[in-house]
Amino acid sequence: MTRHDTGATAAIEITSFTEDHLPGALALSQAAGWPHRREDWALGLTVSQGVAAIENGRVVGTALCSLHGRVATLNMIIVDQSMRGQGVGRLLMEKIIALAGDREMRLVGTEQGLPLYRKLGFAPTGRIVQLQGLARATPSEQPICVGAEATEAMAAMDHAASGMERAALLARIAEMGVTLTTEGGFAMLRPFGRGHVLGPVIARDKAAARALIAGAATHLTGQFLRIDLPEEQGLAPFVETLGLSRAGGGTAMVHSPRPRPETGWQTHALISQALG
């Protein structure tokens, strides 16, 4: 635990994030308008290290570093409204950047956070579009199989598309929800926030991605569904035909990028903005 004097505030303690901080962290994310449940925080913690900012015993800031082999995603970077503009966010970022070590670092930044992330050396790579709403059934372009198992083959597809090693994480997600497969790709549905989230969606082409997304919408007809898409893939207009509407998003950013070979596999929807 380290103590920092932020000047305008009392001393802030920066300490390693543990499960004991979850209630305070959940209160922070709820105050920020984020839909995360305690279970959603807990899933991220299975692959993450992190820090919490503490003032007088109260959690006033959080930041996690999720480790995926040679890539780290920095996420859940939240500062209490009363503490913003006083350097707490920078302290938290510096700590999780150190946790990432020499890995490539990725994050999805809000407009409010972009100036800090740029100062710390992150560069924008594209936009992430969040869509959500009550899912509407629609025929899939190709056959879909709905199951509940994550295989080594799926982990290999995900690694080829993202450069991240997430076999254990994908297995946990499969246990929480269902897996959809088709020729040339797979997708995963799990409970999240107000309903369910679809992600990742990994596919060789857009036809397979559309089929998986349509299959998920049909599986959850009439239920709340969220999906986070890389805007560059151009699938947002299609997803809007399934009953979902745009509800925000963020800027994808990277620090210390590493070259990746072209594999033919692509990420058409993220596991989440936090986990890539």
pLDDT in tens, the chain (276 residues): 555 544 444 589 999 999 999 999 999 999 999 999 999 999 999 999 999 999 999 999 999 999 999 999 999 999 999 888 899 999 999 999 999 999 999 999 999 999 999 999 999 999 999 999 999 999 999 999 998 677 899 999 999 999 999 999 999 999 999 999 999 999 999 999 999 999 999 999 999 999 999 999 999 999 999 999 999 999 999 999 999 999 999 999 999 999 989 999 999 999 999 999
Q: Beta-strand (E) ranges in 96-243?
A: 104-109, 123-134, 145-147, 178-182, 185-192, 195-203, 224-230
The DSSP line for 61-88 is: EEEEEEEETTEEEEEEEEE-GGGTTTTH
Contact assessment for residue 106 and residue 181, using Cβ atoms and an 8 Å cutoff:
no
Specify the pLDDT at position 1: 54
Handedness of CA 62, 249, 232, 238 (dihedral sign): positive
Q: Beta-strand (E) ranges in 116-243?
A: 123-134, 145-147, 178-182, 185-192, 195-203, 224-230
Specify the pLDDT at position 8: 42
CA separation for the pair 19, 42 (Å, rounded) = 8
Q: In which element (H, E) is residue 247 found? A: strand 244-255
Q: Which residues contact 257 (CB under 8 A, 6 or more apart)?
A: 104
Burial of 139 (0-12, 13-18, 19+ CB in 10 A): exposed
Q: In which element (H, E) is residue 3 found? A: strand 2-4
CA separation for the pair 253, 122 (Å, rounded) = 6
What residue ranges define each of the domains in the chain, with the CATH number in brackets?
2-102 (3.40.630.30), 129-269 (3.40.630.90)
